[in-house]
Structure 1
Amino acid sequence: MRTLAGVVAALAIMGSTAGAATAEPTGSTPLDTVTACPATARADAPVLLVHGTHADVEQSLGPVRQGLLEDGRCVYGLDYDSDESLSTSVDYFAAAVDRILAVNRAKTLDLVGKSQGALIARAVSLRFADRDVNPIRTVVAVSGPQHGTSVAGLRLPAGSSLPQGLPFLSPAMADMLAGSPYLTRLDSGPTVAPGVRYVMTATAYDEIVTPYTTAFIDAPGVTNLLVQDGCPEDHTGHLAGTTDPRTVDLVLHALDPARHPTVRCVANDNRK
């Protein structure tokens, strides 16, 4: 049996290389500092990147951001406290979407998230489901615990509270456990928003988000992609996925297949 210390260690690095909620939690990028896309940006929807737990955008999605910038896309990456409850972070990023749309006078936006950020991205898209037109055009989720992680075999009976004796789990970590009250509420209705295109990627060698199939969603408008499909020699795990050429290509292809028609197959022994 794995120890509780092992559970904590695994959850603590999820997505990293290492009452009413407020819109701007302590430690997050102030939204009034978010400005319009540069005039040189290509005429396309802005992209908002959401990093994983105990990481930043560079650690979670650095090569993806670089690829988008080389394409001329307008890219936003905001800091947030990844230990806060998921509802707090979702509130913040929903407000960030509205801010980015407003300062750019834009109608649509693409979301890309890694790990915790991938779950946040889906939840944010659901926040706009009641609008006449959902401003979220595409959600690309990389190794996200969409149905919760049972890392180290730890999971909660659906809708139950956190077991006694686990006070060292942050609110976000507790929310990401399979069967958590947060996930039970999130999935009590439709799991995806109508009109939004979703691309969910996962790796069979994920050592953090387990089982890896929790990153997939069976619903209309969702494309589920396993890194190893067509490339069995790619053994990238959760953390190595940040720089894994195939994973990066899958994200860029999902956002713009015309500019990124080729998805590489490169042998990877789970190294970044």
Structure 2
Amino acid sequence: MKLSFSALFTAAATAGLFTLSSMVKAAAIPAAGHSPVAVATLPTHSFEKRSIAGINNFNCKLTPKHPRPLLLVHATLLTMDSWWTFAPHLIKEGYCVFALTYGRYDNIPFVGGIAPVADAAQEVATFGEQVLQKMNATELDYVGHSQGGILGRYWAKYLGGANKINRLVGISPINHGTTLSGITTIAQALKIFAPAEPIFDSFAPSFYDLVDTSPFIAKLNAGGDTIPGVIHSNIATKYDEVVTPYKTAFQNGATNTVLQDLCMLSINEHLTIINSFVVLRWVMNQLDPVNAKSASCLSLLSFA
């Protein structure tokens, strides 16, 4: 059986959360004044440059080659700093790159993407609209990893963002939910899935929102996979243990690509797919198809 970083991460996280949930429940339940980041008044550190030089720079000039701001949206349990591979190269290429850490709880530090997914989508929408206003732009391009890949869809479909997103690029997006390599299916069969939900919801309600049978996923896909006027594209990896089956990342009516079809040597899975230069080149090609270059095993050389 193949073991990878995502497999170990998923197994360890699941076991750890079940074991520790009773210990962290009291500390993790949002108390008064410690709710998820308010969507109406985003904290100022959402716009900080953080450790990635050049990100969230409102002095960046849009150009005819790159006429729209580029919004990068991270995955569950990650933060905006997870774009440390992609963002510097995109900035160097001339993009005006913006990112935030969404879906946090004040009393659970270091991670994002754990608040209810609908709330996270509103937070991303508010941030995106602020970027558009500050950059004097009417549309932006959107690149999202995992949960981040579907928040733009929700913004476009339900929060008035359909005419504000030009291209929506998903990197292992959870477009149709996940079984977490069968963990949720087994839990449902053992009848422990529903009883465990209140425990998880006390500190990470997004986990249950992202399961393939959740009401959120049903609402997200109601009426079709894509939004008219938005250019959709997705890339997935065969070695994904978080978005499972991996082809559920794809959408009808979108450009859908398997990483290993570009480079059969790529072993990147769910977490490390955003560290792949093959994927970076593919993303750049989606953002600027007129100037596309081959995305292949040789892409590493072009970013050396």
TM-score class, shorter-chain normalisation, is 0.7 to 0.9
- Contact 1:111/1:138 (CA < 8 Å) preserved in 2? yes
Deviates more, 1:172-181 or 1:244-253: 244-253
Pair 26,47 (structure 1): closer, same or farther in 2 beyond 3 Å: closer
- Return the offset for 1:64: 2.0
Measure the CA separation in 2 of the matches of 1:233 and 1:247.
13
RMSD: 3.4
Amino acid at match of 1:127: Y
Measure the CA separation in 1 of the matches of 2:274 and 2:15.
17
- Residues 138-176 of structure 1: CA deviation (Å, up to 9, x unaligned): 00100011100111311499xxxx611342362111100
Unpaired stretches in structure 2, ≥5 consecutive residues:
1-6, 18-36, 50-54, 105-112
- Contact 2:71/2:99 (CA < 8 Å) preserved in 1? yes
Give the structure 2 partner of residue 148 of structure 1: 177
- Contact 1:234/1:266 (CA < 8 Å) preserved in 2? no
Give the structure 1 partner of residue 70 of structure 2: 47
Amino acid at match of 2:68: A
Give the structure 2 partner of residue 139 of structure 1: 168
Amino acid at match of 1:223: T
Give the structure 2 partner of residue 231 of structure 1: 263
Measure the CA separation in 1 of the matches of 2:273 and 2:99.
18
Question: SS at 1:134's partner residue?
Answer: coil
Measure the CA separation in 2 of the matches of 1:186 and 1:217.
12
Give the structure 2 partner of residue 16 of structure 1: none
- Residues 44-71 of structure 1: CA deviation (Å, up to 9, x unaligned): 1001110111212232x32221221011
The 5-angstrom pairing of residues 1-272 of structure 1 reads: 6=11, 8-9=13-14, 22-24=38-40, 29=45, 37-43=58-64, 44-59=67-82, 61-80=83-102, 81=104, 82-127=113-158, 134-153=163-182, 154-155=184-185, 163-166=194-197, 167-168=199-200, 170-219=204-253, 222-265=254-297
- Report the TM-score when normalising by structure 2: 0.72
Amino acid at match of 1:77: A
- Contact 1:11/1:151 (CA < 8 Å) preserved in 2? no
- Return the offset for 1:39: 4.5
- Contact 2:116/2:206 (CA < 8 Å) preserved in 1? yes
- Return the offset for 1:37: 2.8
Pair 11,260 (structure 1): closer, same or farther in 2 beyond 3 Å: farther
Pair 179,232 (structure 1): closer, same or farther in 2 beyond 3 Å: same
Deviates more, 1:78-87 or 1:229-238: 229-238
Measure the CA separation in 1 of the matches of 2:261 and 2:286.
16
Question: SS at 2:137's partner residue?
Answer: coil
- Return the offset for 1:41: 4.7
Q: Aligned pairs, how many?
A: 250
Unpaired stretches in structure 1, ≥5 consecutive residues:
13-20
- Return the offset for 1:24: 4.7
Measure the CA separation in 2 of the matches of 1:106 and 1:201.
27
Overall identity of the aligned pairs, in %? 27
Measure the CA separation in 1 of the matches of 2:258 and 2:144.
16
| Higher helix fraction (1 or 2) | 2
Pair 250,30 (structure 1): closer, same or farther in 2 beyond 3 Å: closer
